[in-house]
Amino acid sequence: MPAITATAPGKIILLGEHAVVYRRPAIAVPVTQIRARAILTANPRGKPGDLHIQAPNIGLESDLDELAPDQPLAAAVRLVLRELGIKQSPACTLRITSTIPVASGLGSGAAVSVALIRALSAFLGKPLEDERVSSLTFEIEKLHHGTPSGIDNTVITYAKPVFYIKDETIETLEMPRPFTILIGDTGIPSPTAAAVGDVRRAWQADPMTYESMFEAIGQIARSGRAAIEAGRIDSLGLLMDENQELLKNINVSSPELDALVEAARRAGAAGAKLSGGGRGGNMIALVSTQNASRVTQALQEVGAKRVIQTEVRKP
Ligand code: PMV
């Protein structure tokens, strides 16, 4: 049996993180330069049911049977077997690698799950449809995040810019004018579950204030969609700045994120904000092709650990 490989991209949230957990819209786009990869190889000498997992990025090498039920890779494998009604897989090795930094708001967990689910279901001769891939990934996201909105599994499965509202039909964005985004990494790992949990407690303590901030963020995402679809990219920059103010108000920014955001704006970015769960992880800046290298340099000067440049366009 030949080896089967599947990959999935990273992602950024352009507008609307956190409020999206509370059913407001958000816009997310894939980042194709960074990817998770799953490779399945048959072990002709192994016993049926033997499934060996290698994930060098997280230092994991183990048989499936030895992993706890809530270990995300093991849980994803078992979910696929159950979904396909397969009791025992043929003896095989599943190797997971990824160039997406973990716990930094770039969707690494969801991308690993999407690649794994696609590769394993294809290896077992029953490749799953996107809709199933996305919903199984959502199940695994719950192990990572607690109460995910579903935006990560959606944008990463479909690998297209999406306008997303929890539990509503997925809409992809028209992109008459591509634009350039820089992604600056604070280098500070920040598990999304902690930020999402803190926001939930603050919302429970003061629902009126938080609902109105979520509503304002949702409106920004709607305006952002209109701006992108009309090719008004400068308006998108202003909306990113407004979104960042609200993210600060809900207490998910950090001094390191703020420093990168300010530096990007000073160097000429049309707008900048954190992206994802916040507290650490990555920020994004909207730039022109002319000022991309100046803004990159400014981000590095104030401590960005890595800067990725990505073109946002309809695939
Ligand atoms: O996985 P991250 O860190 O990009 O966070 C996703 C965005 C949140 O809105 C904070 C959480 C969610 O599930 O939508």
In ligand 1, which atom is closest to the CA atom of 192?
Answer: 3
152 is catalytic: yes
How does pLDDT run across 37-66, given as a tens digit for each residue? 999 999 999 999 899 999 999 999 999 999
Q: Is the CB of 192 under 6 A from ligand 1?
A: yes
Which of 140-144, 148-152, 208-212 has the least mean pLDDT? 140-144
> Chain centroid to CA 35: how far?
11
The answer to whether residue 203 scores a pLDDT higher than 70 is: yes
In angstroms, what is the span from residue 299 Cα to ligand 1's centroid?
Answer: 23
In ligand 1, which atom is closest to the CA atom of 104?
Answer: 3
Q: What is the predicted pLDDT for the residue at 314?
A: 81
Residue with tokens 């048989």: 63
In ligand 1, which atom is closest to the CA atom of 109?
Answer: 1
Q: Is the CB of 250 under 6 A from ligand 1?
A: no
Q: Is the CB of 265 under 6 A from ligand 1?
A: no
In 3D, which of 39, 55, 274, 26 has the Cα closest to residue 152?
26
Cα torsion 265, 268, 271, 274 to 10°: value is -50
Task: Determine how β-strand 26-42 pairs with β-strand 92-98.
Answer: antiparallel
Given the residues 152, 185, 234, 241, the one annotated as active site: 152
Residue 252 — φ and ψ, nearest 5°?
Answer: -115, 5
End-to-end CA distance of the chain: 32
Residue 79 and residue 31 in contact, taking contact as beta carbons nearer than 8 Å = no
The answer to whether residue 146 scores a pLDDT higher than 80 is: no
What percentage of the chain exceeds 90 in pLDDT?
90
Q: Is the CB of 12 under 6 A from ligand 1?
A: no
Q: Model-level pTM greater than 0.75?
A: yes
Residue 130 — φ and ψ, nearest 5°?
Answer: -50, -45
